[in-house]
Amino acid sequence: MPSDRLDRIRLANDVPSHVAVIMDGNGRWACDRGLPRHLGHREGMKSVREAIEGAVDSGVNILTLFAFSTENWSRPAQEVSALMVLLQLYAKKEGTELRRQGVEVHVLGDLERIDGPTRSAVDAIVSKTRGGTALRLNLMISYGGREEILRAARILADRVAQGSLSVEDIDEDELAGALFTPGVPDPDLLIRTSGEYRISNFMLWQLAYTELYITDVLWPDFDREHLFDAILNFQRRERRFGRVASE
């Protein structure tokens, strides 16, 4: 049955090109039900599918999901291990369907830190979906915004030391090109679930003028209708990028 929200999105004809999501609330969802935290993460996989399909339906070009942060490495080893297994499961289970839907997967972050089986699984889903044109899906794994900027600074410093770049030529474009997202437009809309009002070290450079949408919905309960609500809210806003609004 067609969604009334989706119809209104299409009528407005002002869809955010790039939507980023901080998927928060898996652990709380599980604890509220007396379940172990890893079952909340497993349930959240269904919401990933909902968000992807909703993004395709509404005409979003890029969907970026914060899947695993650098800070998550400090969680109990059992939970980290369960998250890595879930990443492997997701990559193996969803690759064929994502390719069918025309979704091209990119996995971005400090991938040197993840274990061999997980790295092989994410490499496989990237390879399997390469060339998809309906949606670019960025999965941010072992990612932190401050670490990303430090990494970019080191890359630029190394180029200066080698003589391929002068200090005077370092500008916003050069720094942006050294991030994990070179050539990717900044997010137009950031959605955070679970009602927390913070960005948690996520895409600190790229979110400079991104519109924020906070929902109390826990990630495992998030579906495409919630995504449509966020897009409809975005469509009602006036984006000024620091400029004075026109009269």
The three-state DSSP-derived secondary structure of the chain is CCCHHHHHHHHHCCCCCEEEEECCCHHHHHHHCCCCHHHHHHHHHHHHHHHHHHHHHHCCCEEEEEEEEHHHHHCCHHHHHHHHHHHHHHHHHHHHHHHHHCEEEEEECCHHHCCHHHHHHHHHHHHHHCCCCCEEEEEEEEECHHHHHHHHHHHHHHHHHHCCCCHHHCCHHHHHHCCCCCCCCCCCEEEECCCCCCCCCCCCCCCCCCEEEECCCCHHHCCHHHHHHHHHHHHCCCCCCCCCCCC
Question: What separation in angstroms does the CA of 19 have from each of 77, 117, 208?
Answer: 31, 29, 14
pLDDT, residue 131, reads 98
Domain boundaries, the chain: 15-144+186-235
Query: What is the reported pLDDT for 16?
Result: 97
Question: In a structure prediction context, what are the per-residue pLDDT tens digits for the chain, which is 247 residues long?
Answer: 558 999 999 998 799 999 999 999 999 999 999 999 989 999 999 999 999 999 999 999 999 999 999 999 999 998 899 899 999 999 999 999 999 999 999 999 999 999 999 999 999 999 999 999 999 999 999 999 999 999 999 999 999 999 999 999 999 999 999 999 999 999 999 999 999 999 999 999 999 999 999 999 999 999 999 999 999 999 999 877 666 555 4
Closest to 179 in 3D by CA, of 154, 161, 159, 196: 154
Q: What is the pLDDT of residue 242?
A: 64
Each residue's pLDDT tens digit, 23-37: 999 999 999 999 999
Residue 239: the pLDDT is 78
Closest CA to 113 of 84, 153, 156, 154: 84
**Known catalytic residue: 138?**
no
Look-up of token digits 């998030």? 222
d(CA 149, CA 200): 15
**Can you read off the two tokens belonging to residue 33?**
């039900």
Amino acid at position 149, single letter: I
Distance CA 39, CA 126 (A): 25
Pair of tokens at residue 24 = 């928060």
Identify whether the C-beta of residue 165 lies closer than 8 Å to the C-beta of residue 187.
Answer: no
Maximal C-alpha separation, the chain: 60
72 is annotated as an active-site residue: yes
Catalytic annotation, pick one of 57, 61, 72, 115: 72
- The architecture (CATH level 2) of 15-144+186-235 comes to 3-Layer(aba) Sandwich (3.40)
Options 7, 13, 14, 24, the catalytic residue: 24
Angle between helices 77-101 and 116-129 in degrees, nearest 10 = 10
Rounded to whole angstroms, the Cα distance separating 77 from 210 reads 34
- Residue partners of 109: CB distance under 8 A and separation at least 6: 68, 70, 140, 141, 142, 143, 180
